[in-house]
Amino acid sequence: MVTIHDIDKSRPVLILYSSGTGGEFITYTLSKVSNSFNNIMRYTNTEANQTHLTCVLDYSAIWADQSDTTTWITNRHLNNVTGNKRYLFRDHPGEHAATLYNKHLPNLQVLHLTLQDNYDYYAKLTFAKLAKKIDCSAITFDFVKENVSSTVTDVLFNRMHKWASAYKWVWLHELHILNDKLKSNASTEFIEHVDSLESHIQTQHDVIKYQSTMLATELNQILNNYVSIDITNINSSRKMWTHLKQIITDIDLDEAIRCTDIWQQLNKELIEREF
């Protein structure tokens, strides 16, 4: 069983990114264009151009016990994501998680994907991929297991179903947020369904902007090995990958740019189709 000490000894790399800005795709691409890293498992939703990963560490939002690092380590396909190279994983940015990473992973290199503009683009992209209405009568245990969490329990499902039953329909992404809160034992008291997609997009715009600016400044003060990587340019990923190659020197630059620019073109087509 891999431990947090084993992970730290590998000189691990963490990709921080705002939800909707492609952090899982970029993390996976990095693992494939560099020979430095252990394997990462990927599932791709081709229709929505989505990438879902299994890394050695889960998202901090779903750690069952933040003070117990054994709960940080994934329990899904663990043997397929361990090895003798550097560990690479991803998370959404947050001050509390940053403090815990600094405490338990002193050798961690943090690469934070940030924007100087195009917040609205990524906010729309988020919901071009996630905006799916779910009739509450369709929310069964099997539906949640297939569409929200493969590790759902009876207790978690019952709490999710109780929340959803107050509404006629909900957004699928609201169920994902609820699931993360329930798995981490966080309060769900203030989670409410919001009909307006425009409201969700505006909120996402504001979150991405805050995490790329004010929060980035705070994280730079908390984390020992922190670098902000500019991903503003949605037409070419060359600047982003050139900066990353300065840190991870064995990156195949041309292949990284090629894969990312194709992915971004598919994103643009998805936005045009959905909006």
The tokens of 22 are what?
Answer: 């492609």
What pLDDT does 185 receive? 73
Which CATH fold topology does 4-123+212-274 show? Rossmann fold (3.40.50)
CB 228 within 8 A of CB 216: yes
What pLDDT does 232 receive? 98
What pLDDT does 76 receive? 83
Report the C-alpha gap between 21 and 205 in whole angstroms: 11
The tokens of 167 are what?
Answer: 């509404």
What pLDDT does 184 receive? 75
pLDDT tens digits, residue range 243-266? 999 999 999 999 999 999 999 999
The torsion angles phi and psi of 111, rounded to 5 degrees, stand at: -115, 110
What pLDDT does 176 receive? 86
pLDDT tens digits, residue range 140-187? 999 998 888 878 899 999 999 999 999 999 998 899 889 888 877 777
Report the DSSP pairing between strands 226-230 and 109-114: parallel
What's the whole-number mean pLDDT along residues 31-47? 96
Q: Is the pLDDT of residue 74 over 90?
A: yes
**Average pLDDT for the chain:** 94
pLDDT band at 22 (very low <50, low <70, confident <90, very high): very high
pLDDT tens digits, residue range 216-238? 999 999 999 999 999 999 999 99
What pLDDT does 221 receive? 97
What pLDDT does 189 receive? 72
What pLDDT does 147 receive? 86
Report the C-alpha gap between 72 and 43 in whole angstroms: 20
What pLDDT does 42 receive? 96
Q: Where along the chain do the CATH 3.40.50 domains lie?
A: 4-123+212-274
pLDDT tens digits, residue range 85-102? 999 999 999 999 999 999
